[in-house]
Structure 1
Amino acid sequence: MLLKDFYTISSLENTADSKYLATILINEEHEVFKGHFPGNPIMPGVCMMQIIKELTEQITESPLFMQSLSNVKFMALINPFNTPELRLELDVATIEDNLVKVKNITCFNETVALKLSCVYKKV
């Protein structure tokens, strides 16, 4: 985990062939939120992308390096005090021996916060 104690995984389950559902709990007391932004904490987009990478590494049991991103859409702000629990849908497919393609939808309650597609290279 790049940011120590930033989040905990409540569940990570394989729901179909290449589809996974993860539930995570954000630590609203983490230092990141004191600077982003004081008095109005918002989850940094780069932290969301790191969480997706770390979950994908756990699923593939392999260290990964982000090769490309496409269709990245931040659709709602995540305030960890209001909505500390996030649900991440991951479609993880190996497209070549060393490449993994991931499609993600991240939600809180019924609100979609992030959609993205990315390709990781196994290292």
Structure 2
Amino acid sequence: MLFQDLYSISTQEKTENGISVHLNLNAEHLIFSGHFPGNPVMPGVCMLQILKELTEVAVGKKLRLSTSTNVKFLALINPEKNPKLLVNIEILEESKLIKIKNITTFDDTVALKLNATFTIIS
């Protein structure tokens, strides 16, 4: 985990096409003190890192982000107000590539949608 203690996984299950993960964000994590003081918001780059880490665990391989398309941050994730996220990732493995489609939500709010391609590095 690149950002130690940023999140914990409460449940993770395989789906027909990928994984579904319930995460708990750590609102006390140091990253939120600078992003932004008094109004913490989950940085987009952290969300991308979390998706990479979850996908690596699901496929059992180390990955490097190659491309991302249709990245849509649709709602701010405030870890004090919305610490529980549901991350759904569809995974398709092609040769030396892993392609994902993600929808991340809290409550009934879609916070993030994206498509990404990762290169398998080991």
Using structure 1 for the length normalisation, give the TM-score.
0.97
Is 1:8 the equivalent of 2:8? yes
Q: Tell me how large the CA RMSD over aligned residues is.
A: 0.6
Distance 2:71 2:15 in 1: 24
Match of 2:111 among 90, 110, 113: 113
Identify unmatched segments of 5+ residues in structure 1.
none
The residue type paired with residue 57 of structure 1 is: E
The residue type paired with residue 107 of structure 1 is: T
Distance 1:92 1:19 in 2: 5
Per the TM alignment, residue 12 of structure 1 is displaced from its structure 2 partner at its CA by 1.2
Distance 2:79 2:53 in 1: 19
Is 1:102 the equivalent of 2:100? yes
Distance 1:39 1:19 in 2: 36
Distance 1:104 1:26 in 2: 18
Identify unmatched segments of 5+ residues in structure 2.
none
Q: Equivalent residue for 1:19?
A: 18
Distance 1:62 1:111 in 2: 31
The residue type paired with residue 106 of structure 1 is: T
1:57-97 CA distance string (max 9 Å, x none)? 000000000000000000000000001000001000102x2
Q: Equivalent residue for 1:76?
A: 75
Distance 2:76 2:101 in 1: 20
Which SS does the other structure have where 1:89 is aligned?
Answer: strand
Per the TM alignment, residue 98 of structure 1 is displaced from its structure 2 partner at its CA by 1.0
For 1:22-33, list aligned pairs within 5 A.
22-33=21-32
Is 1:42 the equivalent of 2:41? yes
Per the TM alignment, residue 38 of structure 1 is displaced from its structure 2 partner at its CA by 0.2
Aligned pairs, how many?
A: 121
